[in-house]
Amino acid sequence: MILLTTTANVIDYYWYPFVVDLETFIRLRYGVENFALLLESRKDILEHAVERIKDALEHGEVRTEPQVVELAVCGYHAARLLIASLGDRWLASRYALAEAERSYKRLQNEEPRTIEALAKILGVNLTYLAEPYREPIAIVNNVVIYRQYEYRIHFLDYVKVAQRLLGDPTWRPTNLPVKQGYIYLTKKQITRILKEAIATHIERSIIGFRIELAALPQTVKEYVETVKGLLSKYRKPKVVKTGGKKYSIKLPEGVVLVEAFPPCMKDIYDALLRGENLSHHQRFAIATFMLNIGATIDQVVDLFRNVPDFNEKITRYQVEHLAGLRGSQKKYLTYGCEKMRTLGLCRGDCGVKNPIVAYYKNASKLIRRSKEKEASS
């Protein structure tokens, strides 16, 4: 294996192909500049790339184990290229998460210097503590028992990388040892955080991959088609049923008029259907909104089917929780407009205090209009 960067002896590219700079790699390894052209003569790489994508679609995790490092590295980058050419946001997220899942398996057993080096490449500023930070938790048999933390990360770096985990209280800084601007984490926690960082890094590198579809060699184009086929096979878009036939201001349960959504909710709704990976706040907002305007649990769960990390069991559990069927038994209200505004999710000035009110206002207008139409026709 050629030494590509100083990190080569610390980071095993087989497990972390995303750290490899593609251009440098193919120049040194094959003496070529154009990756697409290289692929034309290397169907094995393309085959392997498709394997990786298929794993992502099927298992949510890349499982295939190529024979050599070179195949892993090129296969990963080829998969990126294929997905980028397709331009599907959902697939990009799904694949990124699946690759992160693969790396994560290995990451849990890595040495501190590897974890540090990887973090650095991912732009996460963390430090391994030769002497762990210790928090006393109790005295047992007259001996003080400590919990140990081997890593620390700056508060702001933490909230940046852990953004999508923050919906879970255990990941909130509130419940972590915060000291002098740093958050202390165990090895287990730090690897989980890095998994997030890997997924984000890969997703960005796919979205940022600029490709001229027309300029791709024929062979590569054929593989793009293959991926397209796979995608439509695995991802049957599920669209929430909207509206029944009978309209009345008091809408029966399960009747949801998407046409009456205020702009903020319409935006999140559309993003969900496109399969974009949404923030915790966005998910919370749309789910509570739908539940409060009379959508059923199934309708809300269905809406999330397109998100890249969809897991039916977990989603159902969470939605049931929001609906007040579990835990505290309290039905969650949706965010008010003011909160939506501070979250940067407001998309208009509807002259109301709560998106629910905007919905009913719009709905009754719609209904009146349709009645007028009926009357005049």
Partner 1 sequence: MELDKTRRFLRHLFRSYYLENRVLLPKDFHMREFAYQPWDSDTYKRHLSFKTVNEVQRLLSTVAPRHFYYSSAKYEYPDEPDMDKKGWLGADLIFDIDADHLPVCQNKTIELTTSNGEKIDLIDEECVRYAAFEALKLYDALVYELGIPKHNIKIEFSGNRGFHVTVYLDVDDVWAKASSVERREIVNYLKAVDLLDETLNPPINVKRKKRVMHIAPTIAMGGLRGRLGRIAVLLAEKKYGNKDLARVLSRNEIISWNQLKNRFGDIVENIFNDAKEELAIHVDEQVTVDIKRLIRVPYSLHGKTGLRVEPVDPQKLDSFQLSPELSPFQRYDKIAVVALVDTPPISILGLRIKLRKGESYRLPAPQAVYLMARGLVAVK
> Which contacts of 357-365 are long-range, i.e. CB under 8 A and separated by 24 or more positions?
358/262, 359/257, 359/260, 359/261, 359/262, 359/265, 359/289, 359/293, 360/249, 360/260, 360/293, 362/257, 362/259, 362/260, 362/261, 362/262, 363/249, 363/251, 363/257, 363/260, 364/249, 365/260
Min. distance of Cβ 112 from partner 1 in angstroms? 21
DSSP string, 277-342: ---HHHHHHHHHHHHHTT--HHHHHHHGGGSTT--HHHHHHHHHHHTTSSTT--PPPPPPHHHHHH
- 136 forms part of the interface with partner 1 (CB under 8 A): yes
Residues 6+ apart with CB under 8 A from 244: 252, 254, 255
d(CA 267, CA 367): 22
d(CA 106, CA 345): 37
Closest CA to 13 of 3, 96, 79: 3
Min. distance of Cβ 114 from partner 1 in angstroms? 25
Closer CB to partner 1, 28 or 178, in the complex: 178
| 3-state SS assignment for residue 334 | coil
Per CB under 8 A, the list member of 31, 181, 208, 351 interacting with partner 1 is: 181
Q: How many residues bind partner 1 (CB under 8 A)?
A: 35
- Which residues in the 291-330 window bind ligand SF4 by CB under 6 A? none
Per CB under 8 A, the list member of 37, 69, 129, 159 interacting with partner 1 is: 159
Stretch that binds partner 1, among 167-175, 201-209, 323-331, 347-355 (CB under 8 A): 167-175
Per CB under 6 A, the list member of 74, 118, 162, 350 interacting with ligand SF4 is: 350
Per CB under 6 A, the list member of 105, 348, 368, 372 interacting with ligand SF4 is: 348
Q: Which does 349 bind (CB under 5 to 8 A by kind): partner 1, ligand SF4, none?
A: ligand SF4
Tokens of residue 239, six digits: 């669209």
- 286 forms part of the interface with ligand SF4 (CB under 6 A): no
Query: Per-residue contact track with ligand SF4, 218 to 257, x per CB under 6 A?
Result: ----------------------------------------
Closer CB to partner 1, 141 or 218, in the complex: 141
Residues in touch with partner 1 (CB under 8 A): 133, 135-141, 144-145, 147, 154-156, 159-160, 163, 166, 169-170, 172-182, 184, 342-344
Residues in touch with ligand SF4 (CB under 6 A): 262-264, 337, 340, 346-350, 352, 355, 358
